[in-house]
């Protein structure tokens, strides 16, 4: 699954729509519409790409083309106009559209460089490909569950990217680094105490906890902001928040 080239760059910036990107994508105003689409692409391109690789067993190159092609056609043919929040979650709707699109492409034997030709934004496929390799998927992975999980992963990655950017802008990189050290540590077994952090950053413990609280607060705000952008109604938003943040007690 890892034999070919990569296109695009590190363009993972998430365009902010200040509201629902789905509603923006259905706007009559071209600029708002483009911004809405760009936000949806940024939020979903990675799960879409990985899903195509897993479910449709496409090669890296074909999956890239199909990902680009899907979003290009969604924009051209206004796929998302037909979305009704009362019937399904947007994520489910998007996946259904994607399955339909790929089935059509396969049926017509149109494995063209359609998407590649219609590249709509720089997407870091190499990174996504690397993630697939790291995930070590088992034979029993259900593609639909995989898509859900990858959407969640993508959401948190985007939130983290935004968080870092926000901390940079606000001149609070030390806050971010404390958060990175404490909450983003890779090693589950590594136990870090506030005292250790205080010694490491040469700050009093109270400041460590305050900095951590600030970044966590920002992080929650950004997760909610992105969820707001990726949902079309208050009800869908609330239900998504419950699902995304509703984790079991430790």
Partner 1 sequence: MKPLSDGLLRRLRRVADLPDLSDSKYRLIRKLGSGGMGNVYLVEDTVLRREVALKVINIPDPPPDLTARMLREARIIARLEHPGIVPLHDVGELPDGRVYYTMKRVQGSSLERYSKSIEPLSERLRIFQRICQAVAFAHVRGVIHRDLKPENVMVGGFGEVLVMDWGIAKLQEAPDEKAAGGEGVASDDFSSGPQTRSGTVLGTPAFMAPEQARGQVEAVDARSDVYALGAILFFLLCRKNPPLPEAEPAFTKQLAWDLAAARAEDRPLSRPLRAICTRAMAWDNSARYDTVTALIADIEAFLDGRAVSAYRENLLEIARRFLFKYRFLAGLVLTYLIIRLLMIFFFRP
Contacts of 21 (CB under 8 A, 6+ apart): 35, 36, 37, 39, 40, 43, 229, 230
Task: Say whether residue 190 binds partner 1 (CB under 8 A).
Answer: no
Exactly one of 111, 153, 172, 181 binds partner 1 (CB under 8 A); which one?
153
Task: Say whether residue 140 binds partner 1 (CB under 8 A).
Answer: no
List b or e across 147-186, with b for residues whose CB sees 16 or more CB atoms inside 10 angstroms: bbebbeebbebbbbebbbebbeeeebeebbbbbbbbeeee
Residue 77 vs 133, nearer CB to partner 1 = 133
Site string for partner 1, 225-244 (x = CB under 8 A): ---x-----x--xx--xx-x
Task: Say whether residue 220 binds partner 1 (CB under 8 A).
Answer: yes
Three-state SS at 114: helix
> How far is Cα 129 from Cα 127, in angstroms, rounded to an integer?
5
Report the nearest approach of partner 1 to the CB of residue 185 (Å).
Answer: 8
Residues 156-175 that bind partner 1 (CB under 8 A): 156-157, 159-161
Within 13 A of 230's CA, how many CA atoms are on the CB side?
31
Q: Nearest to residue 82, comparing CAs of 69, 100, 62?
A: 100
Among the residue ranges 68-76, 103-111, 125-133, 140-148, the one whose residues contact partner 1 (CB under 8 A): 125-133
Q: How many residues lie near partner 1 (CB under 8 A)?
A: 41
Q: Nearest to residue 116, comparing CAs of 60, 154, 78?
A: 60
Residue 74 vs 159, nearer CB to partner 1 = 159
Residue 3 vs 250, nearer CB to partner 1 = 250
Exactly one of 223, 230, 231, 232 binds partner 1 (CB under 8 A); which one?
223
Report the nearest approach of partner 1 to the CB of residue 191 (Å).
Answer: 13
Residue with token string 């909610």: 224
User: 193, exposed or middle or buried, with CB in 10 Å at 0-12, 13-18, 19+?
Assistant: exposed
Question: Applying CB under 8 A, which residues contact partner 1?
Answer: 12, 127, 130-131, 134-135, 152-153, 156-157, 159-161, 183-184, 186, 188, 209-210, 213-214, 216-217, 219-221, 223-224, 228, 234, 237-238, 241-242, 244-250
């Amino acid at each position: 699954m890892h034999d070919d080239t990569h296109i695009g760059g590190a363009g993972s910036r998430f365009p902010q729509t200040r509201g629902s990107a789905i509603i923006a994508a259905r706007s009559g105003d071209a600029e708002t519409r483009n911004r809405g689409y760009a936000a949806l692409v940024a939020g979903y391109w990675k799960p879409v790409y990985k899903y195509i690789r897993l479910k449709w067993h496409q090669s890296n190159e074909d999956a890239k083309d199909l990902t680009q092609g899907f979003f290009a056609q969604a924009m051209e043919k206004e796929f998302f106009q037909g979305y009704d929040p009362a019937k399904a979650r947007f994520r489910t709707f998007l996946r259904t559209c994607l399955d339909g699109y790929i089935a059509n492409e396969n049926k017509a034997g149109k494995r063209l460089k359609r998407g590649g030709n219609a590249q709509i934004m720089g997407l870091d496929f190499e990174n996504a490909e690397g993630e697939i390799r790291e995930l070590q998927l088992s034979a029993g992975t259900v593609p639909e569950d995989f898509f859900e999980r990858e959407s969640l992963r993508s959401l948190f990655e985007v939130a983290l990217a935004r968080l870092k950017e926000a901390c940079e802008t606000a001149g609070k990189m030390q806050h971010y680094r404390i958060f990175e050290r404490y909450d983003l540590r890779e090693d589950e077994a590594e136990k870090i105490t506030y005292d250790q952090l205080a010694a490491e950053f040469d700050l009093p413990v109270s400041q460590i906890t305050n900095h951590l609280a600030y970044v966590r607060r920002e992080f929650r705000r950004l997760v909610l902001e992105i969820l707001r952008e990726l949902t079309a109604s208050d009800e869908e938003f609330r239900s998504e928040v419950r699902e995304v943040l509703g984790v079991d007690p430790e």
